[in-house]
Amino acid sequence: RSKKTENYLQTLNEPQREAVLHGEGPLMIIAGAGSGKTRVLTFRIAHLIEKGVDPFRILSLTFTNKAAGEMRQRIENEVGYEARNIWMGTFHSVFAKILRIEARHLGYTSDFSIYDTDDSKSLLRSIIREFKLDDKVYKANVVYNRISGAKNRLVSAEDYANNPVIQADDDAARMKELGRIYKTYVGRCFQANAMDFDDLLFNTNILFRDFPDVLYKYQHKFQHVMVDEFQDTNVSQYLITRKLSAAHRNICVVGDDAQSIYAFRGANIENILNFEKDFPDVKTIKLEQNYRSTSTIVNAANSVIARNKTQLEKKTFTANEEGSLIDVIKAGSDNEEGRMVATAIFEEKMQKSLKNENFAILYRTNAQSRSFEEALRKLGLKYRIIGGMSFYQRKEIKDLLGYLRFIVNQKDEEAFKRIINLPKRGIGDGTVAKINVTAADQGLGFWEIASNATYYIGGRTAAPIEQFATLIKSYKLLIEEGKDAYEIASHVAKTSKLLKELYDDKTVEGLSRYENVQELLNGIKEFVDSEETEDKSLSAFLQSVSLLTNADEPDEDADHDRVTLMTIHSAKGLEFRNVFVVGLEEDLFPSQMMLESRQDLEEERRLFYVAITRAEQKLSFSYAESRYQWGRLKMCEPSRFLLEVDKTYLNVTRLLAGMDPTPASGGSTSFVRNLTPRRPTEPRNVPAAKAHAPSGDFKPSDTSHLKAGDKVEHMKFGFGTVVKMDVDGTDRKAVVRFDGVGEKTLLLSFAKLRIL
Ligand code: ATP
Ligand code: MG
Atom of ligand 1 nearest to the CA of 13: 27
Residues of the chain above pLDDT 90, percent: 56
* Best probe residue, ligand 1, of 292, 317, 575, 579 (max atoms within 8 Å of C-beta): 292
From the list 335, 299, 334, the residue with the least C-alpha distance to 320 is 299
Catalytic residues: 37-38, 228-229, 259, 614
644 pLDDT higher than 70: yes
683 pLDDT higher than 60: no
Atom of ligand 1 nearest to the CA of 287: 6
748 pLDDT higher than 50: yes
Binned at pLDDT 50, 70 and 90, residue 597 comes out as confident
What's the CA gap between 525 and 614, in Å, rounded? 35
550 pLDDT higher than 60: no
Q: How far is the CA of 304 from the centre of ligand 1 (A)?
A: 21
What's the CA gap between 150 and 403, in Å, rounded? 31
pLDDT in tens, 442-487: 888 899 999 999 999 988 889 999 999 999 999 999 999 999 999 9
Q: Which amino acid belongs to residue 356?
A: N
Q: How far is the CA of 229 from the centre of ligand 2 (A)?
A: 7
Binned at pLDDT 50, 70 and 90, residue 674 comes out as very low
* Ligand nearest, relative to CA of residue 575: 1
Greater confidence (250 vs 311) lies with 250
pLDDT in tens, 499-546: 888 888 777 677 778 878 887 888 888 888 888 788 999 999 998 887
Binned at pLDDT 50, 70 and 90, residue 17 comes out as very high
Contact between residue 195 and residue 112 where contact means Cβ atoms under 8 Å apart: yes
> Could you tell me which residues are annotated as the binding site for ATP?
31-38
Mean pLDDT on 86-104: 94
In this prediction, residue 390 carries a pLDDT of 64
Q: Is 340 helix (H, G, I), strand (E, B) or coil?
A: helix
Binned at pLDDT 50, 70 and 90, residue 668 comes out as very low
Atom of ligand 1 nearest to the CA of 12: 27
Residues of the chain above pLDDT 70, percent: 87
In this prediction, residue 639 carries a pLDDT of 94
In this prediction, residue 686 carries a pLDDT of 32
pLDDT in tens, 127-186: 999 899 998 889 898 899 889 989 988 999 999 888 876 666 656 667 888 999 999 999
Q: How far is the CA of 12 from the centre of ligand 1 (A)?
A: 10
213 pLDDT higher than 90: yes
Mean pLDDT on 556-576: 86
pLDDT in tens, 227-268: 999 998 888 999 999 999 999 999 999 999 999 998 765 566
* Ligand nearest, relative to CA of residue 574: 1
Binned at pLDDT 50, 70 and 90, residue 291 comes out as very high
Atom of ligand 1 nearest to the CA of 573: 4
In this prediction, residue 690 carries a pLDDT of 39
In this prediction, residue 101 carries a pLDDT of 95
Contact between residue 297 and residue 613 where contact means Cβ atoms under 8 Å apart: yes
pLDDT in tens, 610-640: 999 999 999 999 999 998 766 678 899 999 9
Q: How far is the CA of 290 from the centre of ligand 2 (A)?
A: 12
Residue nearest to atom 31 of ligand 1 (CA): 291
From start to end of 57-130, where are the E strands? Answer: 58-62, 87-90, 113-115
In this prediction, residue 1 carries a pLDDT of 54
Q: How far is the CA of 607 from the centre of ligand 1 (A)?
A: 19
> Which residues are CB-neighbours of 174 under 8 A, at least 6 positions away?
137
Q: Is 359 helix (H, G, I), strand (E, B) or coil?
A: strand
In this prediction, residue 549 carries a pLDDT of 60
What's the CA gap between 701 and 717, in Å, rounded? 16
In this prediction, residue 223 carries a pLDDT of 96
Atom of ligand 1 nearest to the CA of 613: 3
Contact between residue 234 and residue 265 where contact means Cβ atoms under 8 Å apart: yes
* Ligand nearest, relative to CA of residue 32: 1
From the list 625, 615, 614, 612, the residue with the least C-alpha distance to 583 is 625
Atom of ligand 1 nearest to the CA of 289: 24
In this prediction, residue 691 carries a pLDDT of 44
724 pLDDT higher than 60: yes
358 pLDDT higher than 50: yes
Greater confidence (700 vs 337) lies with 337
Measuring CA to CA, how many Å separate 174 from each of 145, 169, 736? 15, 11, 72
In this prediction, residue 355 carries a pLDDT of 97
* Best probe residue, ligand 1, of 38, 314, 574 (max atoms within 8 Å of C-beta): 38
Residue 718, beta-bridge partner list: 714
In this prediction, residue 551 carries a pLDDT of 59
Residues with CB under 6 A from ligand 1: 11-13, 16, 33-39, 256, 259, 291-292, 573, 575, 613
Mean pLDDT on 342-366: 95
Greater confidence (377 vs 311) lies with 377
In this prediction, residue 714 carries a pLDDT of 81
Q: How far is the CA of 37 from the centre of ligand 1 (A)?
A: 6
Q: How far is the CA of 590 from the centre of ligand 1 (A)?
A: 28
Q: How far is the CA of 50 from the centre of ligand 2 (A)?
A: 23
- Burial (CB < 10 A; 0-12, 13-18, 19+), residue 291, is middle
Atom of ligand 1 nearest to the CA of 41: 11
In this prediction, residue 474 carries a pLDDT of 96
* Best probe residue, ligand 1, of 291, 294, 317, 617 (max atoms within 8 Å of C-beta): 291
Mean pLDDT on 37-60: 96
From the list 641, 643, 642, the residue with the least C-alpha distance to 594 is 641
**Which element (helix H / strand E) includes 407?**
helix 395-408
ipTM here: 0.99
Residue nearest to atom 17 of ligand 1 (CA): 292
In DSSP notation, 436-470 reads HHHHHHHT--HHHHHHTHHHHT-STTHHHHHHHHH
* Ligand nearest, relative to CA of residue 290: 1
Highest mean pLDDT: which range of 311-325, 546-560, 663-677:
311-325
Mean pLDDT on 44-66: 93
Highest mean pLDDT: which range of 10-19, 373-382, 711-720:
10-19
Q: Which amino acid belongs to residue 519?
A: E
Residue nearest to atom 18 of ligand 1 (CA): 292
Q: How far is the CA of 316 from the centre of ligand 2 (A)?
A: 15
Q: Which amino acid belongs to residue 530?
A: S
Q: How far is the CA of 16 from the centre of ligand 2 (A)?
A: 13
* Best probe residue, ligand 1, of 20, 39, 252, 606 (max atoms within 8 Å of C-beta): 39
Residue nearest to atom 20 of ligand 1 (CA): 39
Contact between residue 533 and residue 330 where contact means Cβ atoms under 8 Å apart: no
In this prediction, residue 5 carries a pLDDT of 63
* Ligand nearest, relative to CA of residue 260: 1
Handedness of CA 437, 438, 443, 447 (dihedral sign): negative
Residue nearest to atom 26 of ligand 1 (CA): 12
In this prediction, residue 657 carries a pLDDT of 41
Q: How far is the CA of 232 from the centre of ligand 2 (A)?
A: 12
Residues by chain with Cβ below 5 Å of ion ligand 2: 37-38, 573
* Ligand nearest, relative to CA of residue 37: 1
Q: Spell out a b/e string for 486-520, using b for 16 or more CB atoms within 10 Å of the CB, else e.
A: bbbbeebbeebbbbebbeeeeeeeeeebbebbebb
Q: What is the mean pLDDT of the chain?
A: 86
- Give the β-pairing of 753-755 and 711-714: antiparallel
> Could you tell me which residues are annotated as the binding site?
31-38
Contact between residue 222 and residue 59 where contact means Cβ atoms under 8 Å apart: yes
> Which residues are CB-neighbours of 473 under 8 A, at least 6 positions away?
451
> Which residues are CB-neighbours of 50 under 8 A, at least 6 positions away?
2, 4, 5, 78, 79
Contact between residue 368 and residue 582 where contact means Cβ atoms under 8 Å apart: yes
In DSSP notation, 580-602 reads EE---BTBBTTBGGG-SSHHHHH
Binned at pLDDT 50, 70 and 90, residue 288 comes out as very high
Binned at pLDDT 50, 70 and 90, residue 719 comes out as confident
